[in-house]
Amino acid sequence: MKALLLSLLAGGILVSAAGARPLATPGVSSSEIRIGSSVPLSGEAAIAGNVARGIDAYFKYVNAKGGVFGRKLKFTYLDDGYDPGRAVNNTIRLVQQEQVFAMFSSLGTSNNLAVRKLLNDAKVPQLFVSSGATTFGRDGKKYPWTIGYIPPYSEEGAIYGQYVVKKIKKPKIAVLYQDDDYGRDLYAGLRRGLGKKVGAIVSKVAYDPTSADVQPQVTQLKASKANVLMIFAFGKFSLQAFNAVSRLGWKPQIFVNDVSSASALMAIVPQKAANGAISIVFGKDPAAPAWRKDKGIRLSQSILRQYGTDIGPRDLQDGYYTAGMATAYTLVDALKKAGKNLTRDGIMRAATHLNEKGNPFVLPGIVVRTTPTSRFPLTQVKLQRWSAKAWHPFGKLLSAKPR
Amino acid sequence: MRLRLALELLSLFALAVLIAVVPRFVSSFTAYEIATVGMYFIALLGLSILTGYSGQISLGHGAFMAIGGYTTAVLSVDGIYGHQIRDVWTIPIAGVVAGVAGLLVGIPALRLSGLYLALITFGLAVAFRQIPLKFDHFLGGTSGKVLSLLTTPFGLSAAPNHWIYYLTWGIAFVLLVVAWLFVRGKPGRTLKAIRDSEIAAVSSGISLARYKTLAFALSAFYAGVAGSLYAIARGFMNPDVFPVVLSVYLVAALALGGVDSFLGLILGASAIYVLINRSADVTHWLDHLPAVNLDPQRPGMPDVIFGAVLIVVLILLPTGVGGALRRLFGPLTTRLYSKS
C-alpha cells in the first residue's frame, strides 16, 4: 500500500513536471536559432543564389553585434539547382535532420509551391519566400505558415498597364511572356492595369521556359507593328529578347519586369535597345548611381567585405546580395518582435503584424507592412528608367498592394 | 551450378535481413534517404533487364518514371470520377500505365538498335516534359500537383519516413526476386541470346518482336513503380521532378553497378542519390583530403566528380562493380563446383 502511494506520488510529480515545462521549439536554444533555406547555387538560376549569401553575411553581422536576444542566427542554405524535386529533399533534410526553426527566403515559385503543403502540415514557418507569385501572400487562410516578400507579380503587371494608359499616346502593345504561372501572373496583371484600354494589346506570344531562344517570338511580335514591348521573361530569355529587338532594328518602348532587370544583365545587352527601358524597383541597387553614396548601400558593402566569402568588386555591385540583406533585416525585425520566448506561433504572429520603417536596403519611404489577411510585406515600388548604363528611379512611390 | 544458386539465394536472404534491420541503426531522415536510393534501385533493375539482358539501350527511362509519378499524382489528387485513390494502391496502376507506354515505345524500337534506339529514347525523355505543360489543366503544368502528405496507413505505428522506407524496400525486394526469376529462366536465356546475336536467336525459333517488346514493357513497369514511389515520398509532381539528365544518370549508374548484376545496382542507385542530393557534402569531404583543392560552391563541380569517378571505375572495372564482385567470387564458386 505504501509502495503504491509512493509510486502514485512519484508519477504525479513526473506528470506535473512534464506539464509545467513549456514544450521546446525545434531549432531554438538559449544560444542559437537555426534557419534553413533552399536556393539555386548551380544551374541556370545560380546567380540568384547570391540572395542567400547576402542573408548569410547579414546574419553574421547581426551575430557579431550580439545576435537576437543573445541567440546567434545559424543559417544553413542548400543548393537545389532550381529543381523543385531537390528543393523538397533539401527542405525535408533541413526540417528533420538539421531541425531548423523556420524555412526562410527559399527561391523560386515552383520550388516554394512544392514544399508549401509539407511545411504547413508540419507547422513549420515558410517565411518571406523569394517569389512574387500572388498566391503566397493571398492564401494565408489555407496556408497559415506561409508568407511572401516581394511585390506580387500581378500588381507589377498592373503598374505597367496603368503607366501605358497614362503616358503613352495611341499605344499598341506587344507582350512576350514566359508560358507558366509566373509569366501568366504578370500578363493578367497587365490586362487589369490597362482597364478599358485592354484592346491596346495587339499581340502576345508565350515562350516555353525550356526553349533555346526567343528570337522567333520577338520577330513575330515585331510584325504586329507595336510601339510598346513588354518583356516578362527570366534570365537568358530577357537577354535574348533585347538582342533580338536590337538586331531587328525595332524601336518600341520596352518594359521589362523586375526579376529580369538586374543591372548586371542590362549592362551587357545592346544599349540601343536597352536605353529608355522601364521597370519597377523596390530595393536599393548598388549599381545605380542614385545610391552610390547611400548609407544603406555603404552598410551592405561593408558587411559583405567583412562577413562575406570570396567577395570581389563585382559582388559589391550585385543587387542580389542587397536583396538578401533586405529580407534578412525584416526577419531579424520579426524575430525581435516575436520576443524573447521564441515559438513558431510567435514568429508567424510577428511576421503577419509587421510595421517596419527604415529598412536600410529598400527604397526610402517604403514601409514593410503586413496583416494576417494581407501577407505582402513589400507593396510599394517606384518606376525606373535605364539610361547611360544604369537604372534611374523616377516618380513617386506607387502602390502594389492587391485589392 | 547448384552452388551458384545457393550463393544467390544466400545473398537475397542477406539483403532481406539487411533491409529489415537497417532502420534500427539510422536516423529517421537517413531512412528516408535510403528509401530514395531504393526507388532508383527499382528503376535500375528494370533498366538492367532491358540493357543488360536484351541489349537494348534506353536513354528515356526518366520519362517512364515521370509517367508513373503523374499517374500516382492524378489518381491520388483528382482520382477517377472524383474518387481519390489511396497513394499505396496507385503504385501498381502507375507501373502498369508506364508498362503500357513502354510497350508502345518498344514496338518502333524493334526496327532500331544501338545508337538509333538510344537517340529515339533520349528524344522521349526530352519531349516528355511538354506533355504536362500542354495538358496543364489535367497535369498541373509547371506549378505541378501537390499530393497529400505521406501518412502511415492501416494503423501501423511506424513514422512516415520508416513507412516509406519499408514500402520502397519491400517492393524493391519483391521486384528484385521477380527480375531474378525472370532472367534465370527461359526468358532470361532468350533475352541473352537476342543480345548476343539476333540472327542466331531468330534461327533458333525465338520471336524477336515478342521478347524485345516484353523487355521494354517490363522495364518501363519497373520505372513506373519507382516514379510513383518517388512522387509519394516527395508529395509533389511537376515536369522538373524527373529532369532529362536523370535518364542519363540512370544509364551511367547502370554502367557503374554492372549492367547485369542486380546487387551491384544498389551501389549505382546510391551514386545517383549522392550526385543529385549530397554532392556538395562529397565535395566538402574531398576538399579535406591533402593536395586536393576544390571549390564546392563552383557550379558543375558535382558533375565533374561524378564523371571522374565513372571514368576511373570503367577503366579499372570495365564490367562495373557487380562484374568485379563476380570476378572476385567467380573462381571460388567454379572451383568448388568442379570439385563436387
Query: Which residues of chain B neighbour A97 with C-beta distances below 8 Å?
Result: 27, 29
Alpha carbon separation from A228 to A164, A169, A231, B59 (Å, rounded):
9, 11, 10, 44
With cell 532594328, the residue in question is: A249
What is the band of B263 on the pLDDT scale with cuts at 50, 70, 90? confident
Region A14-18 average pLDDT? 42
Determine phi and psi for A341, rounding to 5 degrees. Answer: -90, 80
Domain A153-281 maps to which CATH number in 3.40.50.2300, 3.30.1180.20, 3.90.1300.10, 3.30.420.40? Answer: 3.40.50.2300
- Rounded distance, CA A15 to CA A17, Å? 5
Instruction: Tell me the percentage of chain B whose pLDDT exceeds 90.
Output: 30
- Rounded distance, CA B184 to CA B193, Å? 13
In sequence order, the β-bridge partners of residue A281 are A382
With cell 544599349, the residue in question is: A271
Taking CA A254 as the corner, what is the angle to CA A252 and CA A259, rounded to the nearest 5 degrees?
160
Nearest to B141 among A86, A117, A180 (CB): A180
Alpha carbon separation from B3 to B49, B180, B183, B212 (Å, rounded):
23, 16, 18, 31
Query: Which residues of chain A neighbour B278 with C-beta distances below 8 Å?
Result: none
Q: Looking at per-residue confidence, does A274 or A12 come out higher?
A: A274
Query: Which residues of chain A neighbour B280 with C-beta distances below 8 Å?
Result: 78-79
Q: What is the pLDDT of residues A217-266, one digit of tens each?
A: 999 999 999 999 999 998 789 999 999 999 999 999 999 999 889 888 89
CB contact under 8 A, B236 and A88: yes
Distance between first and last Cα of chain A: 70
Query: Which residues of chain A neighbour B130 with C-beta distances below 8 Å?
Result: 208
- Rounded distance, CA A107 to CA A40, Å? 7
What pLDDT score was predicted for residue A103?
A: 97
What pLDDT score was predicted for residue A16?
A: 42
Region A357-378 average pLDDT? 94
- Amino acid occupying residue B262: F
Decide if A257 contacts A156 (C-beta within 8 A): yes
Whether A153-281 and A32-151+290-379 are alike in CATH topology: the answer is yes
What is the band of A15 on the pLDDT scale with cuts at 50, 70, 90? very low
What pLDDT score was predicted for residue B328?
A: 74
Q: What is the pLDDT of residues B280-293, one digit of tens each?
A: 777 777 777 776 66
Task: Output the pTM of the full model.
Answer: 0.83
Taking the domains of chain A in order of start, what are their residue ranges? 32-151+290-379, 153-281
Residue B13, SS3 per DSSP = helix
With cell 547581426, the residue in question is: A62
Decide if A356 contacts A38 (C-beta within 8 A): no
With cell 522495364, the residue in question is: B219
With cell 531504393, the residue in question is: B38
What pLDDT score was predicted for residue B299?
A: 61
Range scoring the smallest mean pLDDT among A296-300, B44-48, B92-96, B297-301: B297-301
Region A7-16 average pLDDT? 46
With cell 549522392, the residue in question is: B274
pLDDT exceeds cutoff 80 at B333: no
The domain A32-151+290-379: what is its CATH number?
3.40.50.2300
Tell me how close the Cα of A83 comes to any Cα of chain B, in angstroms.
Answer: 6
CB contact under 8 A, B144 and A78: no
CB contact under 8 A, B234 and A88: yes
Q: What is the pLDDT of residues A177-208, one digit of tens each?
A: 998 888 999 999 999 999 999 999 999 999 98
SS percent in chain B: helix, strand, coil, step 5: 75, 0, 20
- Rounded distance, CA B177 to CA B197, Å? 27
Q: What is the DSSP letter of B150?
A: P
Q: What is the DSSP letter of B291?
A: T
What string of H, E and C letters represents the secondary structure of chain A? CHHHHHHHHHHHHHHHHHHHCCCCCCCECCCEEEEEEEECCCCCCHHHHHHHHHHHHHHHHHHHCCCECCEEEEEEEEECCCCHHHHHHHHHHHHHHCCCCEEECCECHHHHHHHHHHHHHCCCCEECCECCCCHHHHCCCCCCCECCCCCCHHHHHHHHHHHHHHHCCCCCEEEEEECCHHHHHHHHHHHHHHHHHHHHEEEEEEECCCCCCCHHHHHHHHCCCCCEEEEECCCHHHHHHHHHHHHCCCCCEEEECHHHCCHHHHCCCCHHHHCCCEEEECECCCCCHHHCCCHHHHHHHHHHHHHCCCCCHHHHCCHHHHHHHHHHHHHHHHHHHHCCCCCHHHHHHHHCCCEEECCCCECCCCEEECCCCCCCCCCEEEEEEEECCEEEEEEEEEECCCC
CB contact under 8 A, A92 and B29: yes
CB contact under 8 A, A42 and B300: yes
What is the average pLDDT value for chain B, to the nearest integer? 84
How many other C-beta atoms can be found within 10 angstroms of the C-beta atom of residue B287? Answer: 13
What pLDDT score was predicted for residue A294?
A: 94
Q: What is the pLDDT of residues B151-207, one digit of tens each?
A: 666 666 567 888 899 999 999 999 999 999 998 888 888 988 888 888 898 888 888
pLDDT exceeds cutoff 80 at A1: no
What pLDDT score was predicted for residue A17?
A: 42
CB contact under 8 A, A96 and B29: yes
What pLDDT score was predicted for residue A21?
A: 44
Residue B337, SS3 per DSSP = helix
Nearest chain B residue to A42 by CA: give it. Answer: B299
With cell 550580439, the residue in question is: A66
Quick one: how far is CA A294 from the chain centroid?
Answer: 22
Nearest CA to A264 out of A207, A306, A214, A323 is that of A323
Q: Looking at per-residue confidence, does B194 or B330 come out higher?
A: B194
Query: Which residues of chain B neighbour A119 with C-beta distances below 8 Å?
Result: none
Grid cell digits, residue B326: 563476380
Nearest chain A residue to B236 by CA: give it. Answer: A114
**Is B193 buried (19+), middle (13-18) or exposed (0-12) by CB count in 10 A?**
middle
Query: Which residues of chain A neighbour B161 with C-beta distances below 8 Å?
Result: 96
Tell me how close the Cα of B119 comes to any Cα of chain A, in angstroms.
Answer: 19
In sequence order, the β-bridge partners of residue A73 are A33
Grid cell digits, residue B8: 544467390
**Is B299 buried (19+), middle (13-18) or exposed (0-12) by CB count in 10 A?**
middle
With cell 532472367, the residue in question is: B183
Decide if A328 contacts A58 (C-beta within 8 A): yes
What is the band of A379 on the pLDDT scale with cuts at 50, 70, 90? very high
Question: Residues B28-43, buried b or exposed e (16+ Cβ, 10 A)?
Answer: ebbbbbbbbbbbbbbb
Determine phi and psi for A355, rounding to 5 degrees. Answer: -150, 75
Tell me how close the Cα of B169 comes to any Cα of chain A, in angstroms.
Answer: 19
* DSSP H or E run through B146: strand B145-146
Decide if B320 contacts B259 (C-beta within 8 A): yes
Q: What is the DSSP letter of B82?
A: T
Task: Determine contact: A312 vs chain B, CB below 8 A.
Answer: no
Q: What is the pLDDT of residues A70-98, one digit of tens each?
A: 999 999 999 888 888 889 889 999 998 89
Task: Determine contact: B144 vs chain A, CB below 8 A.
Answer: yes
What pLDDT score was predicted for residue B336?
A: 52
What is the band of A19 on the pLDDT scale with cuts at 50, 70, 90? very low
Task: Determine contact: A210 vs chain B, CB below 8 A.
Answer: yes
Task: Determine contact: A92 vs chain B, CB below 8 A.
Answer: yes
Decide if B226 contacts B234 (C-beta within 8 A): no
Tally A–B CB contacts below 8 A.
83
- Rounded distance, CA A360 to CA B75, Å? 49
Decide if B94 contacts B224 (C-beta within 8 A): yes
What pLDDT score was predicted for residue B137?
A: 80
- Amino acid occupying residue A85: G
Grid cell digits, residue A353: 503584424
Query: Which residues of chain A neighbour B129 with C-beta distances below 8 Å?
Result: 210
Range scoring the smallest mean pLDDT among A3-7, A271-275, A386-390: A3-7
Query: Which residues of chain A neighbour B149 with C-beta distances below 8 Å?
Result: 117-118, 121
What pLDDT score was predicted for residue B155?
A: 60
